[in-house]
Structure 1
Amino acid sequence: MGLFENLLVIFCLIGVSCFFSMSEISLAAARKMRLRQSLEEGDLRAGKVLQLQEHPGSFFTVVQIGLNAVAIMGGIVGESSFTPYFRAALDGVLPAAYLDQVSFLLSFVMVTSMFILIADLMPKRIAMAIPEKVAVVLVGPMLVCITLLKPFVWLFNMLADGIMKLLSLPTVRNDEVTIDDMYAVMDAGAEAGVLDKDEQQMIENVFEMQTIPVTAAMTSRESIVYFLSSDSEEDIKRKITEDPHSKFLVCDGQLDNIKGFVDAKELLLRLINGKSLDLNDAKVLHTSLIIPDTLNLAEAMEFFKNHRADFGVVMNEYALVVGIVTSNDLQSAVMGTWALHDVEEQIVARDTNSWLVDGVTPITDVMRAFEIEEFPYSENYETVAGFVTYMLRKIPKRTDFVVYAGFKFEVVDIDAFRVDQLLVTRIDAADNPLPVLPPVDDKKQ
């Protein structure tokens, strides 16, 4: 064959190698979500690609057979096709003793370079750039190749499966989507500009609903404004004026003896209509929904939905009131708007490296404000005061502190036995190497 015929054969082999290379990369890189979207839009080829992804053994066997066969044939044809031309071109330029070796080397380099550039690098880059489009175009011819090479596919697959079993290696790809995968997708979307910071935070809050306790979104016991059933009309008006809320608990003597709750709008209507404010009136007093403090945000939302309520009292196992929560609190916790209001009140910056923090600030708020990924043994407490108390293993006193994650949490104000306020200071770990010792195992005490 002449030079033209030899080049034609080489380019045909390169074309076949391109087909197998692009098929291999596109099938591996094609995203299932986009393929399913294409299938829903009516592209049946996407369904075939999804089937190959679920059982890729036959596909990859055909690809390897094709690539190796083409590489071997390319080497054979390249050596015999181009070596004579290089020998003729170099005849008289190089010594006769080196002519054959140099001609063979140049022929080998030329054919190998053509395969690397045209049959390997370029096709794979294209397939990586648009994997779904390439996969749906090439899936038809690839299925034909799988059918034609079925005996070889069966033999090599059987041998490969046997070896994989001997090595205890999985033969099927695990396509289970984990929460870490979802976070990675959101991070990629934020970096690409598809999601802004607030949207990313909102989606992360939705995923974290199963892990954040309802107590993180509630109004804590210390901040509850409530009526006593014995309050006079003047007392009721004064409390509403001083702390205007939409709903108020009504208690008998103390907070833990709950009789129900009243709606401030209904009380206002009674005043407008000239009626007395009787907190014991069945038309005014509503039954309170009791929510266990062990629920997370998702469970609390479902609790509200099932009871068709939007206001609840959070209680612990001793039937003591821990706080109150509304459906708006839960929705705001997911949307992220609650942090903008509460954290500004509970975490006040003194300067660039120190903050005054309310003791009842939820530990999740502290994590967000100071960009701390996690707190140790966080299942044992819910507030920053609880964190300090748990780590110290005693009731804190003024000036007691805990150092963690580059911050010093120092107690600066005590109300009775309650940690009212802490001073959080950013420290240099090198200058202040104070270790955080693990708490004593409760089972050993």
Structure 2
Amino acid sequence: MTLTQSLLLIALLIAVSAFFSVAEISLAAARRLRLRQLADDGDARAQEVIALQEQPGHYFTVVQIGLNAIAILGGVVGEGALTPYFARLFELALDAENAQRAAFTASFITIIAAFLVFADLFPKRLGMSDPERMAMRIARPMRWLITLLGPLTWLFTRMTDGLFRLLGLPMVREDKITLADILAMSEAGTRAGVLAAQEHQVIANVFELDVRMVNSVMTPRERIAWLHRDDPESVLRARIVAEPYSAYPVCEGDIDHVLGYVDAKDMFQRVLGGQPLSFDQGLPIHKALVIPDRLTLTEVLEQFRSAHEDFAIVVNEYSLVVGVITLNDVMSTVMGDLVPASTDEQQIVQRDEHSWLIDGVTPIQDVQRALGIDEMPHEDEYETLAGFLMVMLRRVPRRTDSVSWAGFTFEVMDVDSHRIDQVMVTRGGPAAAQPEAKAAA
């Protein structure tokens, strides 16, 4: 065999090996979701790739037979074709025996380098760049090879299956898309510029609804603006001017005896229409949706959908009112920074690069997000920043009490009737060097 013929044969072997490399990596990297979309659009090749992914045994057996056979054949052909020419070159400087050894080493390295670059690295990177398209192009030729090498494929597949059974490993590929997978994909899309950072945050917030409790976003009991059923019109007018909201609970005697709620639109319509603003003169009281305080926000949305309401009273296990929540409260949690908040309602205010002033009732997830903290201690024991401070201090905090965690110092600035109003958070400093809690003397 001449040198030209040997080089052509090596090039052919490299091309075939590259085909098997692309076949291997493209099937493994092809995304099931994308393939399913292509199959739904009528591409039969995508459905064929999905079928191969579900039962990949014969496919990968053929790939490995091809790769190993070609690697052995390529080594034999390359050594026989190149060694004589390298030997002649090295004999100019070495004796015959050493020249032969050097020639064998040089031909071996040359063949390995050629196969490594052109039959392995390049085709695999090519297959990774667009795995679905590559897998669909290669699926049919691989089906032919599976049929052609049927006996060998059957034998090696059965041997491999037996090993899987012996080790108790799953025989069929299972594609389970988890929450972490979706968030990772959206984060990758953000880094690639496909998604805006705010859009990625909205996606994360949507999935957070399953773990955030209603009391993390509701208006707490002490901040509820509620109305007495017997309040005269002057009191009602003064109340809605002082505390403008979309709905107000209407109570009999105290806040724990809720009769229903009044919609602010009904009140404004009556005012604009010159009608009396009084419950005993026709101002309608709507039946209130009452929900327990242990629901997640996803469950709250389902309650709103079922009842066709957007306002609910939140009660605890003793049927005492602990807060109110609206559909807008939940959606604001989802939209995050995309929904502008007034200065009065903003719970986290960044004073400078290293300090924040945070309301005590701020959900702990929002605090983590604002400060960039991945993990908080005893996370299952509280929902808000105030709860975090209570758990860390093991008592009701007082003014100037402080807690340090993850390089931040949380100092209580204002307490109103045992309720933590404001917390100053500062980054760094000696107090934040180690996770700890300390109280004022």
- Equivalent position of 2:408 in the other structure: 407
Task: Check the 8 A contact 1:247/1:261 in 2, yes or no.
Answer: yes
Correspondence list, 1:107-122, <5 A: 107-122=107-122
- Alpha-carbon distance change, 38 to 268 in structure 1, aligned in 2, over 3 angstroms: closer
Amino acid of the structure 2 residue aligned with 1:251 = C
Matched, 1:148 2:148: yes
- Alpha-carbon distance change, 406 to 98 in structure 1, aligned in 2, over 3 angstroms: closer
Question: For 1:116-153, what per-residue CA distance to the aligned partner results, in whole angstroms no more than 9, with x for missing partners?
Answer: 23222222222122222221111111111111212212
Which segment drifts farther, 101-110 or 426-435?
A: 426-435
Q: Distance in 1 between matches of 2:292 and 2:219?
A: 14
- Equivalent position of 1:386 in the other structure: 387
Task: Check the 8 A contact 1:290/1:312 in 2, yes or no.
Answer: yes
Task: Check the 8 A contact 1:214/1:293 in 2, yes or no.
Answer: yes
Correspondence list, 1:21-36, <5 A: 21-36=21-36
* Per-residue deviation, 1:375: 2.6
- Equivalent position of 2:428 in the other structure: 427
Amino acid of the structure 2 residue aligned with 1:117 = V
- Alpha-carbon distance change, 389 to 122 in structure 1, aligned in 2, over 3 angstroms: closer
Determine helix, strand or coil for the equivalent of 2:36: helix
- Alpha-carbon distance change, 370 to 281 in structure 1, aligned in 2, over 3 angstroms: farther
- Equivalent position of 2:61 in the other structure: 61
Which segment drifts farther, 194-203 or 365-374?
A: 365-374
Question: For 1:82-109, what per-residue CA distance to the aligned partner results, in whole angstroms no more than 9, with x for missing partners?
Answer: 3344445666664333343334333333
Determine helix, strand or coil for the equivalent of 1:348: strand
* Per-residue deviation, 1:188: 0.5
- Alpha-carbon distance change, 228 to 134 in structure 1, aligned in 2, over 3 angstroms: same
Amino acid of the structure 2 residue aligned with 1:374 = E
* Per-residue deviation, 1:80: 2.6
Which segment drifts farther, 112-121 or 314-323?
A: 112-121
- Equivalent position of 1:41 in the other structure: 41
* Per-residue deviation, 1:178: 1.4
Correspondence list, 1:22-421, <5 A: 22-87=22-87, 94-280=94-280, 284-337=284-337, 340-341=340-341, 345-421=346-422
- Equivalent position of 1:442 in the other structure: none
Q: Distance in 1 between matches of 2:96 and 2:360?
A: 91
Determine helix, strand or coil for the equivalent of 2:290: strand
- Equivalent position of 2:19 in the other structure: 19
Correspondence list, 1:2-13, <5 A: 2-13=2-13
Task: Check the 8 A contact 1:32/1:50 in 2, yes or no.
Answer: yes
- Alpha-carbon distance change, 147 to 393 in structure 1, aligned in 2, over 3 angstroms: same
Amino acid of the structure 1 residue aligned with 2:47 = G
Amino acid of the structure 1 residue aligned with 2:289 = L
Amino acid of the structure 2 residue aligned with 1:155 = L
Gaps of 5+ in 1: 438-445
Determine helix, strand or coil for the equivalent of 1:160: helix
Question: For 1:35-65, what per-residue CA distance to the aligned partner results, in whole angstroms no more than 9, with x for missing partners?
Answer: 2222222221111111111111111111111
Give me the TM-score of the superposition, normalised by structure 1: 0.90
Amino acid of the structure 1 residue aligned with 2:13 = L
- Alpha-carbon distance change, 363 to 338 in structure 1, aligned in 2, over 3 angstroms: farther
Determine helix, strand or coil for the equivalent of 1:341: coil
Which segment drifts farther, 271-280 or 130-139?
A: 271-280
Percent of counterpart pairs with the same letter?
47
Which segment drifts farther, 150-159 or 368-377?
A: 368-377
Which segment drifts farther, 199-208 or 98-107?
A: 98-107
Task: Check the 8 A contact 2:406/2:434 in 1, yes or no.
Answer: no
Q: Distance in 2 between matches of 1:82 and 1:411?
A: 79
Task: Check the 8 A contact 1:389/1:396 in 2, yes or no.
Answer: yes
Which segment drifts farther, 145-154 or 407-416?
A: 407-416
Determine helix, strand or coil for the equivalent of 1:210: coil
* Per-residue deviation, 1:429: 5.8
Task: Check the 8 A contact 2:405/2:432 in 1, yes or no.
Answer: no
Q: Distance in 2 between matches of 1:282 and 1:390?
A: 48
* Per-residue deviation, 1:379: 2.8
* Per-residue deviation, 1:23: 0.8
* Per-residue deviation, 1:345: 2.9
Task: Check the 8 A contact 1:329/1:338 in 2, yes or no.
Answer: no
* Per-residue deviation, 1:17: 1.1
Q: Count residues with an aligned counterpart.
A: 437
Question: For 1:377-402, what per-residue CA distance to the aligned partner results, in whole angstroms no more than 9, with x for missing partners?
Answer: 23322222122122222222223222
Which segment drifts farther, 210-219 or 103-112?
A: 103-112
* Per-residue deviation, 1:279: 1.6
* Per-residue deviation, 1:363: 2.0
Amino acid of the structure 1 residue aligned with 2:409 = K
* Per-residue deviation, 1:172: 3.8
Determine helix, strand or coil for the equivalent of 1:59: helix
- Alpha-carbon distance change, 65 to 221 in structure 1, aligned in 2, over 3 angstroms: same
Task: Check the 8 A contact 1:216/1:364 in 2, yes or no.
Answer: no
Q: Distance in 2 between matches of 1:326 and 1:288?
A: 12
Amino acid of the structure 1 residue aligned with 2:200 = Q
- Alpha-carbon distance change, 265 to 226 in structure 1, aligned in 2, over 3 angstroms: same
Q: Give RMSD over aligned pairs.
A: 2.5
Q: Distance in 1 between matches of 2:351 and 2:92?
A: 87
Amino acid of the structure 2 residue aligned with 1:428 = G
Which segment drifts farther, 146-155 or 271-280?
A: 271-280
